[in-house]
A and B are shown apart, each in its own frame.
Chain A
Amino acid sequence: METPLVRCDNVIKIHKQGALEAVALQGIDLEVRRGEFVVIVGRSGSGKSSLLHVLGGMEKPSAGRVVVAGTDLTSPLGTDIRYHFRRNVGFVWQEFTRNLVPYLKAVQNIELPMLLAGVGRERRRRRALALLEVTGLRNRAYSRVNVLSGGEQQRLALCVALSLGPRLLLADEPTGELDTERSLQVYELLRRLCTEGGLTVVAVTHDVALARRADRVFHLQDGKFRLDRRVRAKRVVEIGPDGGVTLPPELLAEAMMTDRANAQVVEEGILLFRDAGGA
């Protein structure tokens, strides 16, 4: 069986502020496979960002185990966080200014992580231009950040995040400051990177449209996943004229449903779940 790229076992994160303690994550278990596009949704304060910070190695969990691309971020021996930043993860944040160095040109921004990692000049430039090509920003390579549009800046941020070829891209509201059209461009790009480039993406968002494009959506509430919903976008079931629904057998097997299921009307439609008696 393939080793998951991201693995969280019972991760707990408690924030301390003076005498106050706030539990951000309460026993999170999560596995993300290579090439997956995972979206985490939830209300403000539900722990989304904390989870992203933990995965990015920016915060250590209070308890539990986190392994990202083979790097144990909770190892008692300590973690080479610099290596983690350089090799494992790339970050894209909501605010443009957090992603880009304003006084550098687009290509220089992409080159910066490579420069810090000691990549040679030629290679840096080649890789930067290639990324710009992929993101459709080739013609903006030598523009300053402040003359780029919001969508361009966010795509550029993606280039920066991908410059060292990370295995995991962590995105915190990557389309938060973009209009719908620009957001779609970014989504498509992320999707393409996952399916074609084998990149794993974990994104935090409020954007339903983004969530719909994800392989899996995790709903975080009070530091716990409310439900792990795997959406196969192409698995559409037919509703018969009598209201009967025929579900594909592999789906039922995956959901461990056999002969009976409970149905409940929820905000987004009808939710089917295993019958406790029948399981």
Chain B
Amino acid sequence: MRWVTYLGLVLRRLWARRWMLLGSFLGATLVIALLAVLPLYEASVSAIDLLYTFRNAPDSTVDLSAALTLTEYSGEQADAGRRAVADASTAVQTWYPTVEERTVSREFVMIPLGYPDWLETARLWRESGALGEAPWPTIPREPTQTRIFTALDIGAGLELVAGELPAFEDPARAAEPILRVVLGEQLAKLTQLGVGDRVVLKAFTSQPSWFEIVEVAGIARPADPDAIMWDGVDPTVLAFVGPETFDAWAGTFTADPDADPWLRQERGFRYLTATRTFTLHLDREAVTLEEVNDLQQGVLYFTRAVARAEGIRTISKLPALIEEFGVRSVVFGAPILAMLALVVAGALYFLIYMAALALERESSELALLRMRGASTWQTIGIHTTQSAVIALAAALAAPFVARGMVALSGRIPPMSTLTGGEALSVSQARSVVPFVLGGGLLTFIAMGLAIVPLARRGVLELRAMASRPARQSVWQRYYLDLFLVVLAGVVLYELRRQGLVATSGEDVGLDPFSVAAPALFLVSGALLLLRVLPLLLRAIGWVMTRFRGMAAALPGWHLGRNPIPYGRLALLVWLTTGFGAFALTYADTLDTSYFDRAAYQSGSDVRLVAEGAGFLGVPEGAVGTPVYRTLGAARLTSRTGQLLAVRPTDFPQVIYWRGDFGDLSLLGSEGLGDPADWGVELPEGTTALEVAALQEPRTWYAVVSGDTVQVARLLLRVVDEQGRLRIYVADEALDDQAWRTVTFDLSGTAARNGPFPDDGGDLVLQALWVERDPTGTGPAAPETAVYIEDIRAVGAAGATSVLDGVQSEFEGREGLTTATAQGDAAVNRYFSELPPGTPAPSAEEMQAHPLWRGTDLLQLSVPGRTRAEAVPHLARPPEPLPFVLDAEAAGVSGLGVGDRTLFGVDGEQVDGWVAGLVNLVPTATDPRLEGALLTRLDGLMQWIEGTPKWSISGTLARVTQPQELWLRTDDPNGAARRLVAALEAEPDDLLTIAGVSADFSSRPIQVGLVSILFIGTGAGVVLTLAGVTAYVLMAVRRRFREMGVLRALGLRRRSVAATFAVEQMVVLGVGAVIGIGAGLALMRLMLPFLQLGEGGADLLPPALMQLDWVRLAIYLGVVALVLVAAVLWSTRNVSARQLSEVLREVER
């Protein structure tokens, strides 16, 4: 009964102190709710992330498939597998409603009937004696491979081009059993088989005697090439039969030996290896957030259940997907939990703060109770019962608040972008129970513990507490703050050692100790600063007393006299502003990091990857640059890196670059140099080139003897202003018996590697090749020479000779030598060997001969060569190339700036030197490659394109085109659309920074992280508002006497209020400023531990701390506004009271 009375007393106390205790209740509710939010939010965000992962993953990843491979296929065994899969699939039937089934055999050899004996054919051809007349024995139709495919609904999956899909016919009962199959369209083309044709099929895996002659019943193509049925196979090269047919022929059956050319009694494909695959296709629409975890469990069950069935193995990337999701959950869950821990720490501090304020308020009552005979335990009992009631009420309310908070987070940006503005579905509600219980206990202890030291105090001490300000805090008195700092130091050491996420082997785990690190750093730092605060306030107080006005001087005296009591208020404010500054900076850093990562992947606003993309016209308003991407190795090592060949004139303007990547100017002319002016510039408006040339003539004697000549043809290599390489072939071959002017039509469409648009601008002649005419067959080309009289550029303005330019610019390559020959060189050669009996011609006769020229000639001595040797040509020798290496490439190659070495690029050895080093190069994201190298596009083209390797059989030379176009533009989407439209084909890749960034930042778990930062910041502001209001109200009450004295001394009401407000403002201002400093310092401290990407790998590029001063100023403004409002509202008591009322208070 007495307990009931006690409880009544406690309830009356609660009611009497309801407004003060409301703060404790709110604080307790918030602490418990935030603790409950830990699992709820994390689970909900993880669930939505998992859902997002499921919905965005390709079919091949989310589909489940089970494969039964039978080395001696039998329909019964395959059907047993079907039953096992059907049983296992009941667990996932909700999400995987249908089972797709197909059976594919191992490879069969298709041997044409009448397959010839090649050697015999060749022998007959050789022995026929008419080699020149009899046709060379062409290669007969080759044996090829195929696999037999069947599925339950094979008929629906095929679109017949010819013939039919044969109905099942039991071979055991047929008089002349023959397997009739449908061939894939491509297979039919390859084998040149048509409907009705027959071919031998023999399985690779079977004995030699198990083969069958099959008949082509039809030719088909897939009705839907993207259907799941064809996953992993090419349906155009398969042979199809119905499922019953497959089962019947995949075993053996007894047949009439007379119906078989080999007189076999047993027929069929014995020992056939075949795989029956069961594919369960995910119905993505059926996956709901609430069921994601069930789905996960169901998939695990399916995998295990199927694994128990004999011979079946599951082929699914789903476990890997779930594992990847798990890693991501840990990597991103760690900061989320750390943020929540930070918020919980702040809220817990608020709770302790409010409990302490409430106790201070109650101290006179405690004194009264003590005086009336209350024992220590009774005092403790009353207070702890009160704390228990509050904690209990808070624990009851908290789960709903937590659910509400989590649900609400789905309605506010940025999470609303994922949920479509719907409330976030809250999952795993049961898991909150231990958190709520723990939170309730924590809040009970936090509130209840404060009474212990008070309960033992004497009546007079308790009375003094009510009227005198607090002394040094417990933290400082017992050096707990220093202990916390030491503890924070240990945690920091631990973090440095292993990072925020602990990785052991392949497992990624969360170290709960490290999750508390940010909270520990912030709180310990704040407590440490608390020691400095009195000195700071004393100094500020001293400065304020220098002012004349009472509104400054009085607070100054007060601050200077006893600054210790302000510590608690300052601590509350700086924990809030500290968290706010940290959260804002973290959010900005994350935002920028998403952008940076996207930009690093994309390289520029728009990056188009497609064949010939580098030469696409740049959309209006954009700056574009072509990039050639390939592999390259410094020092010709096997340590291959990513090589980018770029145009230094505009590449630096287009590439996304960050200061810490290195010196951007190295990627421009300063590092890579200006594009070399190599080649002979053709006059503006040149439409054609004419070359007057002659192949070294046969002698007169050789001509009359019937000797033939391997004629030569000239080719040109020309580039336009865009850097597009064009290869032109002369309109006709050179003659050796007459000077001939061959013409090169320089319109883009005439280019042999074209067509090119004619908007290339001025052209530059870069090489002139002497190619042997392919009609002249033979194993090698003998040496010869070519005389060139003139090379003229023809345009609207007439013809201009460019021969001098060619002579001065070019030198012979690949054994070709140049010399100046006299005009009679060809004539002399012709007459150097005369037919027997022919008199030597006179000088006049020689001059009159058509081969004679009156001017000096350019003589090209073309060496003899094999097919394997490069084509001799005239060109400028390539110069050593400047390379810029990133830190990794420099590290693996051991090269430094200025080092000269050979670089391996696309199979060529390129002489180059290191022009500069940078730290990182955007787009070099392939982890398999070691570092990145940059060089000049035009220079590299000169090295790797300049050498024609093979021209006789058609291939002229490597025509390497920059396959990427990088754009800087204000309208990335518009530019991307225009580029794709111009491309007329699907690009290999199209990246925009905005697109990739959206992909990064829309990951639910990342959005969740940003959301929690905003939630924490908002909660901090609310708590500060409540805390400051409570504190100021208490302070006003405590110092009412002092205010009365001031009023009695003649100060006006507003002046007294202003005095008081200024005092609080100074403390709050100091707290806010220190808090922001502490928040930024915390961010700086934590940044190295937040450099983890999705897969747990280091972020590339590393995240840099970002500070948006405007946002920070807005936040500070909001906090200041809230604090000013709280102070003014709380001090309104002072200004509202009449003097008489105040004086009466003073008298008390």
Contact = CB atoms under 8 A, between A and B. Distances in A.
Nearest to B379: A116
A274 interface: no
A58 B459 contact: yes
Contacts of B372: 85, 112-113, 116, 160
Interface stretch (B12-20, B73-81, B942-950): B12-20
Interface in B323-381: 364-365, 367-375, 378
Interface in A33-88: 53, 56, 58-59, 82, 85-86
Interface string B1-23: 11001100100110110000000
B371 A103 contact: no
A91 interface: yes
A95 interface: yes
Number of chain B interface residues as a range: 20 to 34
Contacts of B755: none
Contacts of A185: none
A115 B371 contact: no
B364 A164 contact: no
A177 B364 CA distance: 19
Contacts, number: 57
B546 interface: no
Interface string A211-240: 000000000000000000000000000000
B1148 interface: yes
A249 interface: no
Interface in A81-114: 82, 85-86, 91, 95, 97-104, 112-113
A203 B689 CA distance: 129
Nearest to A59: B460
A197 B458 CA distance: 30
B375 to A, nearest CB: 5
A104 B460 contact: no
Chain B binding surface SS class = helix
Given A98-B364, A103-B13, A116 B1148 contact: no
Given A103-B12, A103-B13, A104-B12, A117 B373 contact: yes
Nearest to B1: A121
B457 to A, nearest CB: 11
Contacts of B364: 97-98
A241 interface: no
Given A116-B373, A116-B374, A101 B458 contact: no
Given A58-B459, A58-B460, A82-B375, A98 B368 contact: yes
A133 B1 CA distance: 26
Contacts of A59: 458, 460
B371 A85 contact: yes
A164 B16 contact: no
B19 to A, nearest CB: 13
Given A116-B378, A121-B1, A99 B373 contact: no
Given A58-B460, A82-B375, A91-B371, A121 B15 contact: no
A244 interface: no
Contacts of B12: 103-104
Interface in B258-297: none
Contacts of A56: 371
Contacts of B378: 116
B1147 to A, nearest CB: 9
A179 B339 CA distance: 62
A104 B15 CA distance: 11
Contacts of B460: 53, 58-59
Contacts of A160: 372
Interface string A197-216: 00000000000000000000
A102 B13 CA distance: 10
Contacts of B459: 58
A99 B365 CA distance: 9
Nearest to B375: A82
Interface string A161-191: 0001000000000000100000000000000
Nearest to B461: A58
Contacts of A118: 2
Contacts of A177: 1148
A53 B371 CA distance: 11
Contacts of B370: 85
Contact of A85 (B2, B13, B373): B373
Nearest to B458: A58
A86 B5 CA distance: 19
B1045 to A, nearest CB: 17
Interface in B371-399: 371-375, 378
Most chain-A Cβ atoms within 10 A of its Cβ — which of B9, B13, B373, B458? B373
Contacts of A117: 373
B465 to A, nearest CB: 14
A188 B1148 CA distance: 24
B717 to A, nearest CB: 97
Contacts of B16: 102-103
Contacts of A53: 460
Contacts of B9: 104, 112, 115
B875 to A, nearest CB: 97
Given A103-B12, A103-B16, A115-B5, A164 B373 contact: yes
Contacts of A95: 1148
B1146 to A, nearest CB: 13
A116 B1 contact: no
B996 to A, nearest CB: 64
B375 A115 contact: no
A56 B373 CA distance: 12
A46 B458 CA distance: 22
A103 B18 CA distance: 12
Nearest to B1148: A95
Most chain-A Cβ atoms within 10 A of its Cβ — which of B368, B374, B375? B368
Contacts of A102: 16
A115 B369 contact: no
B368 A103 contact: no
A116 B371 contact: no
A98 B15 CA distance: 20
A91 B9 CA distance: 21
Across the A-B interface, the 5 shortest Cβ-Cβ residue pairs: A103-B16, A86-B373, A113-B372, A85-B373, A116-B374
Interface of B: 1-2, 5-6, 9, 12-13, 15-16, 364-365, 367-375, 378, 458-460, 463, 1148
Given A95-B1148, A116-B373, A160-B372, 19 more contacts: A58-B458, A82-B373, A82-B375, A85-B370, A85-B371, A85-B372, A86-B373, A98-B364, A98-B368, A101-B365, A103-B12, A104-B12, A113-B372, A113-B373, A116-B372, A116-B375, A116-B378, A118-B2, A121-B1
29 contacts: A53-B460, A56-B371, A58-B458, A58-B459, A82-B373, A85-B372, A85-B373, A86-B373, A95-B1148, A97-B364, A98-B364, A98-B367, A98-B368, A99-B368, A101-B368, A103-B12, A104-B9, A112-B9, A112-B369, A113-B373, A115-B2, A115-B5, A116-B369, A116-B372, A116-B374, A116-B375, A121-B5, A160-B372, A177-B1148
